[in-house]
Chain A
């Protein structure tokens, strides 16, 4: 009896004490609470939070129904990244694009070369061929001229007090009506983290 009780108590205590530290590699929910949080760099949850805040602000403002055409064609400028990190800004911008498309109020123009080269070069060539076949080869295709454009800038701020470090990431965005050339919505999203070292949590 005593052996069984001793073993049970030992197992219970062992599992209790070892729960946080004995895990091997495993898949985790990317939208859950058990992700690694690093004060030193941006995490996937930072990208989601920045995208979520800006989309909620833009859609919640009701500005999408006031765009000239419905659904409005938009073009995105290359985001400006002034943080200390080099990363693919599509990590944030793609989430914003998907969310905006899901509203049904805007469509992203993939074949316009106003920003340099078309985002989808094959679609741009196919569109040009179709325009030529239709006898509109030399004309400006107004479907490629955006009703609105988006600009984005990512900023970072770091401070330290003793062993505690704090980092803030700020995403600033503007939506410009190309008929008037004026910003019709501006939004700012912030993520702030504080700590001494990376940990698991949210």
Chain B
């Protein structure tokens, strides 16, 4: 049986398309604190992930006098339960990461049209800026 170029082209295109799609679904969405009182900033590279983990509010405060803490409201616009992972990281005023031995990615399930609140307390008084990273979980 002979395979023609015309028959191969769709197969090649499908394979490359599938590879591109696989690569794209692993990209992260991030949100980070704004400097000098500016509002938080979101960087969206994964539109699908935004539909199930969209930031709708950020609340900042302090605890123990000088330790910053934040609460981030995340909304899912999906009609089925969804899963994603998130990770908070903290930085000092110079933008240098502040080490935290218990920082970890956390997996969550969000129900349809639900808003959940993700919270984090800064690891040290020197940690003033934060970054929240979302990753899709499709395994």
A interface residues with partner B (beta carbon < 8 Å): 1-2, 5-6, 8-9, 12-13, 15-16, 19, 31-33, 45, 48-49, 51-52, 55-56, 59-62, 64-65, 94-96, 98-99, 102-105, 199-202
Contacts and interface: CB of A to CB of B under 8 A. Distances in A.
18 contacts: A1-B5, A6-B8, A9-B11, A12-B12, A19-B22, A31-B105, A33-B85, A48-B104, A56-B119, A59-B63, A59-B64, A62-B64, A94-B101, A99-B101, A99-B102, A104-B125, A201-B137, A202-B106
B136 to A, nearest CB: 10
B69 interface: yes
Contact of A60 (B15, B99, B121, B124): B121
B134 to A, nearest CB: 11
A60 B12 contact: no
A32 B11 CA distance: 34
A33 B106 CA distance: 9
A8 B9 CA distance: 11
A186 to B, nearest CB: 17
A61 to B, nearest CB: 8
Contacts of A9: 8, 11-12, 15
Q: Which of B101, B107, B137 has the most CB of A within 10 A?
A: B101
Nearest to A97: B101
B56 interface: no
Contacts of B120: 56
A103 B125 contact: yes
Contacts of A201: 137, 139
Main secondary structure of the interface of B (DSSP, over half): mixed
A33 B135 contact: yes
Nearest to A193: B107
Nearest to A62: B63
Nearest to A35: B105
Given A48-B104, A102-B123, 15 more contacts: A1-B5, A5-B8, A5-B12, A6-B8, A15-B19, A16-B22, A33-B85, A45-B104, A56-B121, A59-B121, A60-B63, A61-B63, A64-B64, A102-B100, A103-B125
Contacts of A48: 101-104
Given A1-B5, A103-B123, A31 B106 contact: no
B31 interface: no
B16 interface: yes
Given A5-B12, A31-B87, A199-B139, A12 B19 contact: yes
Nearest to A100: B123
Interface in B69-104: 69, 85, 87, 98-104
Nearest to A47: B102
Which of A15, A52, A64, A95 has the most CB atoms of chain B within a 10 A radius of its CB? A52
| 10 closest cross-chain pairs (CB), A and B | A48-B104, A52-B102, A51-B102, A12-B15, A9-B12, A95-B101, A102-B124, A95-B102, A98-B101, A65-B64
